[in-house]
Chains A and B, each alone.
Chain A
Amino acid sequence: MKSDKGPNFNEFSIGIATRNGSGSQTANQVILRSIFAMGVPVGGKNIFPSNIAGMPTWFYIRASAKGHIARSERTDLLVCLNVETAADDLARLGEGAVAVIDEAMAGLATRKDIRHIVVPFKKLAEEACPDRKLQKLVQNMVYVGVLCRLLGIELDEAKAALGRLLGKKSSVIALNSGAMDLGHRWALENSSPFETFGIRRSSGTAGRILVEGNTAVALGALFAGVTVAAWYPITPSTSVIEDLEHYAKRFRKNPATGKLDIAIVQMEDEISSAGVVVGASWAGARSMTATSGPGIDLMSETIGLGYWTETPGVFVDVQRTGPSTGLPTHTGQGDVELCAKVSHGDTRHICLYPATMRECFDFTYAAFDLAERYQTPVFVLTDLDLGMQTWMSEPFAYPEGRLDRGKVLDETGLAKVAEWGRYRDPDGDGIPWRTLPGTAGGKGAYYTRGSARNDAALYSEKAEDYRGQIERIARKIEGSKEHLPGPALIRAPGAAKTGRGVIAYGSSDPAVVEALDILRGEDRLFDYLRVRAYPFSKAVEDFMAAHDEVYVVEQNRDGQLANLLADDFPSLAPRLRKVTYPETLPLPPEAVVEGIALAAGIRAGAAR
């Protein structure tokens, strides 16, 4: 924090460098949640390795009265506890930053342009806890106490947050609370609260909730009436189904019998998970799976089967860094083209791109209606950043209205139809009527297959039958695009018209919004369209047509959404400018400013 900018309360970021498995997660969540409880908007980013214990991990907390909660590249306060990374962590700090550093690493406190606060963490942890085995864990609460004092976080709020996180474990709470007190007391005696930044009680979080995207997705599915979920554990999607199970046991359980109104099955792999989704939907259930990129790869053949047999199914892809194993615990947007076109042959899939916790809930809910309406696999693409990080949000809104089960003929419906064929198009919208196994009356049975067929679902090798079917399915998917979540437009304030537009989607949103604010401060004005679904609606095309230059910001290497846009709107493709961030950490606003400036050939960055 540069001193020439004056005191900057409720507008800074903290980095905490530890090792994974050291128990720092609870401590970091206590800090995050007590800032939130004091009314200051906050975002948390856990940067963790694919490992159980011992590797470096960082937790970033961004407090921002303005609501800018993207991960910033600037750290104002570093808690430096990992000797392995300490030298690098300290070197990365900007001028004027503060480092809270463990006494054992005091020798590294050499920079003159930052302030060092050397804390005897080990000694304080020993004092707080006689049990040697627990001292490492307790040390984390010592830094919480220190930070409360330095930043002006109320100790009572920190203790309340600790209580909420640990629940009924009273002896554990007492131990941790005592350690927090010791840290606080040490800071009281040996340091003083910062004069340039910290937390001041505010009302910026009133009525808001704190939640993770995977939980929001699970809840969206729960309220959409999912009855079959099949899955295989894979980071970073695992907690989607675990949370679904948690809430299903609370809200979808028959209190008298203890039996569930839902089947959740952990399968042997992603291939079989996708097969269960297809089989269950074919039989009439609302079914889903949640996975990440490698899982989509394995499901590819089955997703093609679902597309061709016109079987609904909801596929949640919590994206991580790829290709191959990539970095399982790091975020990315590398599955956009994959999901749009999964499987061999001509395919095109409905994809939804939520960017907020509310959208994770709403879009997952909508995905079930869309899957049954269009009788096709529907993808919900989130990523590790949305799925596993802690986000502030408006509370979830109860989805009104009835579930849309699509075109299903039951016994009565069949009796009224003179001639029914599973793959006919009587309504001219490309969507056929389906029946469900078990329908009585002797009329609705059909035999579906991955092989070619005619509109009566009979095997056919006739060219015209194949062409008729594959083109009807294309029409059906094309017909969905105005019924998907439309793009969200933010016009550059204060300008009647700007020739420049930005397109982004998903977890890039907060960084893009902040970046456009920074650019506006330099009189660089951009309209912003956040795309929320594929195939793209007319509004996306109109936005491209209305801007001479369209900067597409993405967290991948190849500009995958830009490629899909160029594919769908070839005459407008020359307007597209790719702004890509092929890195592994959540997108920072600084990189967006830099990327747009570079692509636009403008000088920006004075504001940084």
Chain B
Amino acid sequence: MAEENAKPTNALGLTIQEYQGGKSTLCEGCGHNMITSQIIQAAWESGVEPHMVAKISGIGCSSKTTAYFMGKSWGFNSLHGRAVAVATGAALANRKLLNILISGDGDSLSIGTAHFVHMIRRNIPLVYVIADNGVYGLTKGQFSATSDIGSALKHGAVNEIPPIDPCSLAIELGCGFVARSYAGNAKQLKTILRAAIAYEGLAVIDVLSPCVTFNNHETSTRSYRAVTERALSVHDLDFVMPHEQHPVDIPPGESREITFPDGSTLTLRSTAEDYDPGDRAKVFAAIHESRSSGAILTGLLYHKPGAPNIHELVGTVEEPLVSLGEARTKPARVALEQINAEFLAG
């Protein structure tokens, strides 16, 4: 039968081709291309409706990638550091959209730090991906705010300024979904992305993504070799949606389970010591301890749902504001008559 030869489809009956974007113009071997692949894979597997997705980005190598996935979705490649503001506007206007924001370490943690910080306070529902390579690529190799102390540029300059850890910052400010992954760990990254899509609220994902051209040399702490050695998964993960039949694909052992509002579940099994992503104090302790050994913890580092999102904070209606007709948005004549009367008395 012809159907047996057909390409696999997702719950919406779409093939993965429906989630592809334009051809990448980044360097061959760029970590960012691996992130792009996993976004495509995650969106397809989770049956995301392409027309309901807004891809928003700032400026930098990372921010170009929104053109390379989900070509049937809307995209806005905006300003350096300001993508959060544009995404906040889109989210306020239409709360049914799935907003995927792709940023970089320069975009999020230098020029856009103020917006990054306040986005977390406001809990803007976004899948926020930082393609984090610890270097400015598009301007050809300057240190960024996530460059490690002691890491050297190609021409030898050594960074002596302490880095910002976006995950610690996000946890501190109350973000309910904070993850770190590695572009080279496809399964973990895809699983975290799927969980982030299912999560209701702001999900911050810092993805270590080596820059093959400007930060992949021997003396870099962020080369493929260095990150492969340093990355340490705190747990194995698997994500299953209600309609998916396959068994949980993680090694046997004691595990935790997180259930998302759409009925999906994320199963987590600690790789070494028990890691509880809901225990803020222990999460902080684990991250801090890992720094002395040089390890970089990856996984769903922190999960604490339930904080009010921006829509609840500003008290807007359940429907998307863009769907409200004129009868709802333009007050009636009697309203203006009433207002005029109040000013009439002086």
- Given contacts A276-B86, A449-B76, list 11 more A-B pairs with CB under 8 A: A209-B343, A219-B336, A257-B317, A260-B316, A263-B321, A272-B114, A278-B78, A402-B326, A437-B90, A448-B77, A450-B77
The verdict on A36 contacting chain B, using a C-beta distance below 8 Å, is yes
18 A-B pairs whose Cβ atoms sit less than 8 Å apart in the complex: A33-B346, A209-B346, A228-B89, A252-B331, A262-B321, A263-B92, A264-B314, A272-B84, A277-B89, A279-B76, A279-B78, A283-B97, A284-B322, A301-B79, A301-B82, A403-B329, A438-B96, A448-B75
> Is B72 a contact partner of A442 (Cβ separation < 8 A)?
yes
The verdict on B213 contacting chain A, using a C-beta distance below 8 Å, is no
Cβ 8 A contact of B71, one of A259, A260, A439, A445: A445
> Is B314 a contact partner of A265 (Cβ separation < 8 A)?
yes
> Is A275 a contact partner of B92 (Cβ separation < 8 A)?
no
> Is A279 a contact partner of B86 (Cβ separation < 8 A)?
yes
- By a beta-carbon cutoff of 8 Å, the part of chain A in contact with chain B is 33-34, 36-37, 161, 164, 205, 207-211, 219, 222-228, 230, 247, 250-252, 254, 257-265, 267-269, 271-287, 301-302, 305, 309, 393, 395-396, 398-399, 402-403, 436-442, 444-451, 459
> Is A262 a contact partner of B89 (Cβ separation < 8 A)?
no
Q: With a CB–CB cut-off of 8 A, which chain A residues contact B340?
A: 209, 395-396
The verdict on B85 contacting chain A, using a C-beta distance below 8 Å, is yes
Number of interchain pairs (Cβ within 8 Å): 239
Distance (whole angstroms) from the CB of B95 to the closest CB of chain A: 9
The verdict on B174 contacting chain A, using a C-beta distance below 8 Å, is no
> Is B82 a contact partner of A275 (Cβ separation < 8 A)?
yes
When C-beta atoms are compared, the residue in chain B nearest to A309 turns out to be: B76
A275 to B80: give the CA distance in the assembly, Å: 11
Cβ 8 A contact of A263, one of B52, B67, B316, B330: B316
Specify which of A282, A398, A437 lies most central, judged by the most chain B CB atoms within 10 Å of its CB: A437
Q: With a CB–CB cut-off of 8 A, which chain B residues contact A254?
A: 317
Q: With a CB–CB cut-off of 8 A, which chain B residues contact A34?
A: 346
Cβ 8 A contact of A283, one of B54, B114, B118, B346: B54
A257 to B328: give the CA distance in the assembly, Å: 14
A396 to B339: give the CA distance in the assembly, Å: 9
When C-beta atoms are compared, the residue in chain B nearest to A357 turns out to be: B343
Q: With a CB–CB cut-off of 8 A, which chain A residues contact B87?
A: 279
> Is B322 a contact partner of A438 (Cβ separation < 8 A)?
yes
Known: A227-B321, A272-B84, A437-B97. A279 touches B90 (CB 8 A): yes
Specify which of B77, B85, B118, B329 lies most central, judged by the most chain A CB atoms within 10 Å of its CB: B85
> Is B89 a contact partner of A230 (Cβ separation < 8 A)?
yes
> Is A272 a contact partner of B329 (Cβ separation < 8 A)?
no
The verdict on B185 contacting chain A, using a C-beta distance below 8 Å, is no
Q: With a CB–CB cut-off of 8 A, which chain A residues contact B76?
A: 279, 282, 309, 447-449
A254 to B317: give the CA distance in the assembly, Å: 8
Cβ 8 A contact of B90, one of A251, A259, A280: A280
List residues of B (82-125) whose CB comes within 8 Å of A's CBs. 82, 84-94, 96-97, 114-115, 117-118, 122
Q: With a CB–CB cut-off of 8 A, which chain B residues contact A280?
A: 89-90, 92-93
The verdict on B273 contacting chain A, using a C-beta distance below 8 Å, is no
List residues of B (297-333) whose CB comes within 8 Å of A's CBs. 310-311, 314-318, 320-322, 324, 326, 328-331, 333
A273 to B54: give the CA distance in the assembly, Å: 19
The verdict on B282 contacting chain A, using a C-beta distance below 8 Å, is no
The verdict on B278 contacting chain A, using a C-beta distance below 8 Å, is no
Cβ 8 A contact of B336, one of A36, A398, A402: A398
> Is B315 a contact partner of A276 (Cβ separation < 8 A)?
no
Distance (whole angstroms) from the CB of A40 to the closest CB of chain B: 11
Known: A275-B84, A442-B51, A446-B75. A223 touches B330 (CB 8 A): yes
A287 to B331: give the CA distance in the assembly, Å: 17
When C-beta atoms are compared, the residue in chain A nearest to B53 turns out to be: A437
> Is B75 a contact partner of A305 (Cβ separation < 8 A)?
no
A230 to B118: give the CA distance in the assembly, Å: 14
Known: A261-B329, A396-B336, A439-B51. A279 touches B322 (CB 8 A): no
Distance (whole angstroms) from the CB of A304 to the closest CB of chain B: 9
Cβ 8 A contact of A223, one of B50, B52, B336: B336
Distance (whole angstroms) from the CB of B189 to the closest CB of chain A: 23
Distance (whole angstroms) from the CB of A598 to the closest CB of chain B: 38
Distance (whole angstroms) from the CB of B329 to the closest CB of chain A: 3
Known: A209-B343, A228-B93. A223 touches B331 (CB 8 A): yes
The verdict on B228 contacting chain A, using a C-beta distance below 8 Å, is no
A226 to B346: give the CA distance in the assembly, Å: 28
> Is B346 a contact partner of A210 (Cβ separation < 8 A)?
yes
A269 to B72: give the CA distance in the assembly, Å: 33
Known: A225-B326, A227-B324, A275-B79. A267 touches B317 (CB 8 A): no
Cβ 8 A contact of B52, one of A224, A226, A261, A438: A438
When C-beta atoms are compared, the residue in chain A nearest to B82 turns out to be: A275
> Is A272 a contact partner of B118 (Cβ separation < 8 A)?
yes
Distance (whole angstroms) from the CB of A65 to the closest CB of chain B: 16
A409 to B66: give the CA distance in the assembly, Å: 23
> Is A285 a contact partner of B92 (Cβ separation < 8 A)?
yes
The verdict on B284 contacting chain A, using a C-beta distance below 8 Å, is no
A249 to B310: give the CA distance in the assembly, Å: 18
The verdict on B285 contacting chain A, using a C-beta distance below 8 Å, is no
> Is A438 a contact partner of B97 (Cβ separation < 8 A)?
yes
Distance (whole angstroms) from the CB of A313 to the closest CB of chain B: 9
Q: With a CB–CB cut-off of 8 A, which chain A residues contact B345?
A: 37, 164
Q: With a CB–CB cut-off of 8 A, which chain B residues contact A219?
A: 336, 339
> Is A37 a contact partner of B346 (Cβ separation < 8 A)?
yes
The verdict on B260 contacting chain A, using a C-beta distance below 8 Å, is no
The verdict on B344 contacting chain A, using a C-beta distance below 8 Å, is yes
Q: With a CB–CB cut-off of 8 A, which chain B residues contact A227?
A: 93, 321-322, 324, 329
> Is B96 a contact partner of A282 (Cβ separation < 8 A)?
no
> Is B88 a contact partner of A275 (Cβ separation < 8 A)?
yes
When C-beta atoms are compared, the residue in chain B nearest to A247 turns out to be: B339
The verdict on B2 contacting chain A, using a C-beta distance below 8 Å, is no
Q: With a CB–CB cut-off of 8 A, which chain A residues contact B344?
A: 207-209, 395
Known: A259-B318, A437-B97. A276 touches B89 (CB 8 A): yes
When C-beta atoms are compared, the residue in chain B nearest to A224 turns out to be: B330
Q: With a CB–CB cut-off of 8 A, which chain B residues contact A225?
A: 326, 329-330
Distance (whole angstroms) from the CB of A397 to the closest CB of chain B: 8
Distance (whole angstroms) from the CB of B288 to the closest CB of chain A: 28
A398 to B333: give the CA distance in the assembly, Å: 6
> Is B115 a contact partner of A272 (Cβ separation < 8 A)?
yes
A302 to B322: give the CA distance in the assembly, Å: 22
The verdict on B335 contacting chain A, using a C-beta distance below 8 Å, is yes
A604 to B317: give the CA distance in the assembly, Å: 62
Q: With a CB–CB cut-off of 8 A, which chain A residues contact B66?
A: 447
> Is B85 a contact partner of A279 (Cβ separation < 8 A)?
yes
When C-beta atoms are compared, the residue in chain B nearest to A390 turns out to be: B346
